[in-house]
């Protein structure tokens, strides 16, 4: 399918690895020029070079912490006129409810709610002026069904979800389409480190933890960054203009719900 976005420009945040990289690759395959970002410059430059040579699109890499205001300003300077925004950042650490204090909640809200809101606030006015734009926020299945040990994520991402529900309907008349993508378990460094923690706690091997988790997922496996990226590229495509303010769950059927 031709996604109809060849020649557009996208900012994909937190994209040297994992789901962000999956989104960047799928957009590049559709002919979209990219601004990529991550904190570690070396992995970011490597990813940028691989995408340039594989897909022949222009890629600008801006190393920096997307949550830090001064770094984000540099990213936004490079991405001032983008047509497409994919927001993403690292997820908060796991724990239990009694571990977390005000500072932990503020950090989670800053990274997983206020940062995507700041990016949208900055970039959507130009999209609206042009009469065309696409925003995809990478959130989590935890907004549909809480993951107890990720209470910081449950809380912060639900706040973003409420914001998007209203804002998506305010900007849709200007041709700016905003949606959220909710990953269930995907095979990335993030899930590997969570599995490692669970293995140490439960005195199991990491492989045993994975196999046990697979049994809770009807697809019997983790998702891939490429599958995730393909859905992101579709939501950024010309065909997605009637999908407004939705929360699309990619979880292999893991959440047992009718809707
Ligand atoms: P990942 O494999 O660990 O990759 C994270 C990427 O984001 C890396 O490129 C990392 O590079 C970059 N990054 C992290 N924090 C950043 C920051 N503050 N500023 C700029 N770049 C940053 O993680 P992932 O699995 O793709 O997860 C992406 C998001 O989806 C996370 O918020 C995660 O919690 C959420 N999620 C993932 C899953 C899953 O199963 N994978 C499930 C639900 C939700 P640097 O470290 O160099 O910055």
pLDDT at 100: 96
Rg (CA), the chain: 18
The mean predicted confidence, pLDDT, of the chain is 97
Count of Cβ atoms closer than 10 Å to residue 247 Cβ: 16
Percent of the chain with pLDDT strictly greater than 90: 97
166 burial (CB, 10 Å; 0-12 / 13-18 / 19+) is exposed
Residue 61 Cβ inside 6 Å of ligand 1? The answer reads no
Decide: 72 in ligand 1 pocket, CB within 6 A: no
Question: Quick one: average pLDDT of 107-113?
Answer: 98
Look at residue 125 in the predicted model and tell me its pLDDT.
Answer: 98
- pLDDT at position 188 is 96
pLDDT at residue 202 greater than cutoff 90: no
Residue 4's nearest CA partner among 23, 32, 26 is: 32
> 222: which residues sit within 8 A by CB, 6+ positions away?
185, 186, 187, 191, 210, 213, 214, 252
Average pLDDT of the residues in 12-38: 98
- Cα–Cα distance measured from residue 193 to residue 210, given in angstroms and rounded to the nearest whole number: 12
The reported pLDDT for the residue numbered 152 is: 97
Residue 171's nearest CA partner among 130, 114, 141, 199 is 130
Percent of the chain with pLDDT over 70: 100
Query: Which has the higher per-residue pLDDT, 134 or 198?
Result: 134
**How far, in Å, from the CA of 217 to the mean position of ligand 1?**
22
Structure confidence at residue 21 (pLDDT)? 98
Ligand 1 pocket test, candidate residues 190, 192, 197, 214, most atoms within 8 A of CB: 190
Ligand 1 in contact with 190 (CB < 6 A)? yes
Q: Would you place residue 163 in the very low, low, confident or very high pLDDT band (cuts 50, 70, 90)?
A: very high
Please give the pLDDT value at position 122: 98
**Ligand 1 neighbourhood includes 154 CB (under 6 angstroms):** no
Indicate which atom in ligand 1 lies nearest the CA of residue 225: 26
pLDDT at 232 over 90: yes
Ligand 1: distance of its center to the CA of 14 in Å? 6
What are the pLDDT digits (tens) for 52-101?
999 999 999 999 999 999 999 999 999 999 999 999 999 999 999 999 99
Closest ligand 1 atom to Cα of 43:
47
pLDDT above 90 for 182: yes
Ligand 1 lined by 237 (C-beta under 6 Å): no
pLDDT at 207: 94
């Amino acid at each position: 399918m031709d996604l109809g976005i060849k020649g557009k420009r996208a900012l994909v945040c937190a994209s040297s690895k994992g789901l962000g990289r999956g989104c960047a690759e799928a957009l590049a395959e559709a002919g979209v020029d990219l601004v990529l970002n991550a904190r570690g410059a070396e992995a970011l430059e490597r990813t940028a070079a691989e995408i340039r040579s594989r897909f022949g699109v222009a890629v600008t890499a801006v190393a920096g912490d997307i949550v830090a205001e001064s770094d984000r300003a540099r990213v936004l300077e490079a991405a001032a006129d983008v047509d497409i925004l994919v927001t993403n950042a690292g997820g908060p650490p796991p724990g239990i409810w009694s571990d977390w204090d005000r500072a932990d909640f503020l950090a989670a809200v800053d990274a997983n709610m206020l940062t995507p809101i700041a990016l949208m606030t900055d970039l959507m006015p130009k999209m609206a002026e042009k009469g065309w734009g696409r925003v995809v926020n990478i959130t989590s299945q935890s907004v549909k069904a809480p993951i107890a040990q990720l209470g910081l994520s449950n809380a912060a991402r639900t706040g973003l979800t409420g914001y998007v529900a209203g804002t998506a309907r305010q900007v849709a008349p200007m041709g700016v389409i905003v949606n959220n993508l909710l990953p269930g378990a995907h095979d990335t460094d993030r899930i590997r480190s969570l599995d490692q923690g669970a293995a140490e706690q439960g005195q199991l091997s990491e492989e045993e933890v994975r196999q046990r988790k697979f049994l809770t997922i009807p697809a019997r496996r983790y998702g891939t960054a490429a599958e995730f990226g393909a859905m992101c590229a579709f939501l950024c495509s010309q065909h997605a203009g009637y999908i407004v303010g939705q929360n699309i769950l990619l979880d292999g059927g893991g959440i047992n719900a009718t809707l």
